[in-house]
Copies of this chain bind each other. A is one copy, B any other.
Amino acid sequence: MTASVVDQALFDRVHSSFVRQGMMQHLGARLVRVQPGEVEFALPMGDKVTQQQGAFHGGALGALADICCGYAALTTAPVGMEVTTVEYKINFISAAVGQEVVCIGKVHKAGRTLTITSAELFDVQDGVRKLCGLMQATLIAVAQKY
């Protein structure tokens, strides 16, 4: 089952980096799905991720979409390389007030140096997904340092 083996290796590649991220672990983000050029993460509602009105904080949504873009890019990066975010742009489309936010990151162009990605954020309320944010991000390949 080559495909599964590849997916498991990809999943491990993303997961082993993700568990080292103090902040995202702390906020409670979890890795849901990994495939070549695409990843999905989820972030549950809670005190650690709210703003002054009790909705998800834009900073938490930005951080979640950032790692989605980054790990999507990691799935297409050469072995031995990792990726660093050069920049991103995010639109907050509607308040996220549900039980969790789900984010799907995708690679649009995997270059030797730069990788261009985007991510969609969905507010999940009682099982219904509603687009709440949109990111476009640029990543750069760097030699893995750990």
Contacts and interface: CB of A to CB of B under 8 A. Distances in A.
Kindly name the residue among A113, A116, A140 whose own CB sees the greatest number of chain B CB atoms within 10 A: A116
Interface in A16-64: 17-18, 20-24, 26-27, 47-53, 57-60, 62-64
Nearest to A88: B90
B62 A50 contact: no
Complex copy number for this chain: 4
A62 B66 CA distance: 9
A8 interface: no
B52 A21 contact: yes
A76 interface: no
Contact of A24 (B59, B109, B113): B59
Given A90-B88, A113-B113, A57 B21 contact: yes
Given A20-B52, A58-B85, A87-B91, 4 more contacts: A23-B59, A53-B146, A59-B67, A89-B89
